[in-house]
Amino acid sequence: MALLQISEPGQSTAPHEHRLAAGIDLGTTNSLIASVRSGIAETLPDDSGRHLLPSVVRYGKDKNPVVGHAALAVQTTEPLNTISSVKRLMGRGKEDVLTLHDTMPYRFVDTEGGMPSIQTDSGVYSPVEISAEILRTLRNRAEESLGGDLTGVVITVPAYFDEAQRQATKDAASLAGLKVLRLLNEPTAAAVAYGLDQKPEGVFAIYDLGGGTFDISILHLKKGVFEVLATAGDSALGGDDFDHAIADWLIEQSGIDASGNHSILRQALLVARKAKEQLSNETTVTVELSDGKNQHWQGALDRDTLTSLIDPIVVRTLPACRRCLRDAGLKVDHIDGVVLVGGSTRSPQVRDKVTGFFGKPALLHIDPERVVAIGAALQADILVGNKPEEDMLLLDVTPLSLGIEVMGGMVEKIIPRNSPIPIAKAQEFTTYQDGQTAMVIHVLQGEREMVQDCRSLARFNLRGIPPMVAGAARIRVTYQVDADGLLSVSAREETRNVESFIEVKPSYGLTDAEVEAMLRSSFEHAEDDMQERKLREKQVEAESLLQAVAVALKADGERFLNDEERSAIDKCMNKLAQSKTGRDAVLIDQNAKALNRATYEFASRRMDNNVQQALKGHSVNEFEETSGK
């Protein structure tokens, strides 16, 4: 198992060389930055003493972006220029984004990169650029508070973020002028913040429900080693969905026509969010909605109604919890504790569901909105070398399997899902056709057996393969996933050491529906997939056999076969060719064996002839003398 040493050897620092580092929780609704000062990790406030930075950016005609509370204040009056919940757009394609919720009040435009960009009065901006503004604001806050430039930061991401979403996060940090020491999974950061690494041993569930994402991770903690046994979740499920459900109810109750009116939609979302937060401590709140003209509505929202609105969304988190336990090979009774993370876990309904599912109360003594940033700060402090005596190991996992396309449209899994990272695995492949000098490496992500059922991540070519007979070349393909969960792939032809390499940077990520479908389908269609794979394998073997026999017949058929023998072989070839297009794997196998039997004597004659040709002009004594040296 690959272990990740967090404290860097030889990087100890004297007190006067203390390096400034920070942990950043780049959230859907709010973001925070934290740092270790005087041995204590704490979140850093702005000039007004506010720790939470709303993840909202306004782009006006003055070309100067406004971030945070000032942007939040104008989002109802400038809904098309004020971007919130941008984390949900990271690493996604435009069509994926439009399926997240039909009330997203933005003007999306197509770009060459595939990631959706948003048209504002000051120009077009991608989710990466918008996130960079939030990160830049946090960086400025930290450097003012700490009195110097940051050496590096740890940025947390949902455990279920895929390749594209992680890469988009790193790109945003680079734009913001930050050096990323590591991307750390949010559940792991929460465990660090709770000091669970100091406990002798235990298995903990980290239930993380934020504004836009949900993660559940099972961690095994033993003497400072964090091993993620399994992870599951939904990268498009969170408190935003609560807000949309409440907003839809408010609009329905008010009778106000909100279709196409972005200001009313934004107003309803703001009222919904405020009411949701108030109902965490109160039983009933007053809510109001206005169209800004002649319609004004006032009503009441109680906790029971709120529960009925958000309960279907909370329930959607439970199947992922079950799947995570199953993947870890555990039962609920094996869990020693539950940690709640994310502002949405303040909801009594969420806490009741989690307690009911795991059968034990959750740990709550750290603010669930700050816990991730605090854990990231502790890790950042170690990574820059301020605590070289620490011996903490993080063993995260990759959430989905990574594989390669092989002949017949099949997927060969190289790194299975829930493999500890960082990890590197290699596998050898070969050519399919005689004289083949190039190979397409098709990188895939998913749990199914066939290419069309998995997600394509990247393609690249390996050229310069020496022309040889099919199956003679040795192509070594290596998949490497780093500590941030980012994938790189290399392919090398072993005889000539020709190599090609790619860092996988897909233009957009998986939708929540795709992730769920991948895992669900892998269970539902496991038997069908295995049968389909067996069929394809037989079809590929049959095609290879037919090609080999055809080449041999063309070269030596007239020399070593009489008419009767040739007719028998042709008959077997026709049967195999016909069955190869069908779906009976047993029949294909039978016909392949029949062709092998029919060509046995032909193959023997060709081999004897080749041996005779090789020995021609040499005496047996030559070989005896050579072997005796």
Give catalytic residues, as residue numbers. Answer: 25, 87, 186, 208
Q: Which residue has the tokens 């959230």?
A: 27
Identify the burial level of 610 via C-beta atoms within 10 angstroms of its C-beta, where 0-12 means exposed, 13-18 middle and 19 or more buried.
exposed
Report the alpha-carbon distance of residue 433 to residue 456 in Å, rounded.
24
- For residue 71, what are its two tokens? 């942007």
Q: Answer yes or no: are the C-beta atoms of 229 and 220 closer than 8 Å.
A: yes
Tokens encoding 194 = 């709770």
Nearest to 339 by CA among 242, 218, 229: 218
Rounded to 10 degrees, the C-alpha dihedral 44/186/84/104 comes to: -170
Question: Do 536 and 409 touch, CB atoms closer than 8 A?
Answer: yes
Nearest to 65 by CA among 46, 84, 82, 48: 82
CB 411 within 8 A of CB 25: no
Question: CB neighbours of 237 closer than 8 A, spacing ≥ 6?
Answer: 209, 212, 213, 214, 313, 316, 317, 512
Tokens of 264: 């009313």
Angle between helices 600-615 and 563-580 (to 10 degrees): 120
Of 583, 612, 447, 426, which Cα lies nearest the Cα of 517?
447
Task: Give the list of residues 6+ apart from residue 569 with CB closer than 8 angstroms, or none.
Answer: 549, 553, 561, 595, 598, 599, 602
* Continuous segment of H or E residues that includes residue 624: helix 620-628
Tokens of 514: 């795709």
| Placement of tokens 């700490």 in the chain | 146
Determine contact, residues 398/415, Cβ cutoff 8 Å. yes
Distance CA 330, CA 327 (A): 8
- Reported as type and span, the H/E element at residue 120 is strand 117-120
Provide the 8-state DSSP code for 22.
E
Long-range Cβ contacts of 329-334 (<8 Å, 24+ apart): 329/229, 330/203, 330/218, 330/229, 332/357, 332/358, 332/359, 333/359, 334/203
Residue 467 DSSP code: P
CB 293 within 8 A of CB 264: no
**Angstrom distances, CA of residue 237 to CA of 49, 191, 307, 314:** 30, 21, 17, 9
Beta strands in 18-91 (DSSP E): 21-25, 30-37, 40-43, 53-54, 56-58, 66-67, 82-84
